[in-house]
């Protein structure tokens, strides 16, 4: 199984240009005009500059084989049961009414990570496991694995950037 290193680095790389208000132009509902800071809503694009940081690996030994969990600081893991866990960078942001997100990806760099260089030439990426309730103990045993994906010799494709409308919270449109 080969893992698309661009997917590893860029899936998490949400470099988004959004029209967001600056911190001084937040809505101050219920406050008097004297409590509001000066300024107006900024109509210039805001930028998210992404850098993955240094990766690390957690070794997991299971009766079905040896696995590595790829960890990046500030990232979550994908949760599609049975599929390899991949790091994901996600941010919840406010999107002002009438504005749409514009995504621009520039200066993409990637590097190949070889498990043999990590001392585990026969290891595979750890497959995401079914969710557990909070009263269940964490268990790193493999219960579900998509063998079709793991036996494939092709690259695993993922969305590079995905903008999802999450809803309205206290009058503010939120997207991830």
Q: Which residues contact 59 (CB under 8 A, 6 or more apart)?
A: 66, 67, 68, 120, 123
Q: How far is CA 44 from the centre of its chain?
A: 25
pLDDT above 60: residue 128:
yes
Is the pLDDT at 76 greater than 70? The verdict is yes
pLDDT computed for residue 92 by the predictor? 86
Q: Where are the domains of the chain?
A: 5-175
| Per-residue pLDDT at 84 | 93
Top mean-pLDDT range of 96-100, 124-128, 136-140: 124-128
Between 169 and 157, the higher pLDDT residue: 169
- The CATH code that applies to domain 5-175 is 2.60.40
CB 160, CB 10: distance < 8 Å: yes
Place of tokens 């206290």: 170
The 10s digit of each residue's pLDDT in 15-69 is 332 333 443 444 434 433 334 343 333 444 567 777 788 888 999 888 888 999 9
| Lookup result for tokens 């960078």 | 89
Distances (CA, A) of 138 to 16, 62, 66, 130, 134: 34, 14, 18, 11, 9
69: exposed, middle or buried (Cβ count in 10 Å: 0-12, 13-18, 19+): middle
What is the mean predicted confidence (pLDDT) over 110-136?
86
pLDDT on residue 17:
29
Mean pLDDT of 88-103: 85
pLDDT average, residue stretch 1-21: 39
The whole-number average pLDDT for the span 108-116 is 84
pLDDT at residue 135 in the model:
85
Is the pTM here over 0.85, yes or no?
no
């Amino acid at each position: 199984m080969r893992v698309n290193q661009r997917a590893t680095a860029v899936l998490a790389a949400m470099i988004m240009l959004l029209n967001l208000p600056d911190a001084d132009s937040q809505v101050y509902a219920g406050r008097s005009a004297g409590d509001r800071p000066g300024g107006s809503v900024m109509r210039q694009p805001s930028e998210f500059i992404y850098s993955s940081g240094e990766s690390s690996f957690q070794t997991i030994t299971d009766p079905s084989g040896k696995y590595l969990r790829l960890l990046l600081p500030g990232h979550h893991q994908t949760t599609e049961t049975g599929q390899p866990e991949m790091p994901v960078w996600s941010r919840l942001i406010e999107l002002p009414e009438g504005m749409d997100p514009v995504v621009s990806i520039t200066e993409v760099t990637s590097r190949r990570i070889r498990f043999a260089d990590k001392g585990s030439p026969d290891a595979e990426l750890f497959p995401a496991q079914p969710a557990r309730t909070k009263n269940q103990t964490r268990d790193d045993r493999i219960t579900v694995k998509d063998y079709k994906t793991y036996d494939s010799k092709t690259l695993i494709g993922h969305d590079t950037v995905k903008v999802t409308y999450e809803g309205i919270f206290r009058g503010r449109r939120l997207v991830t």
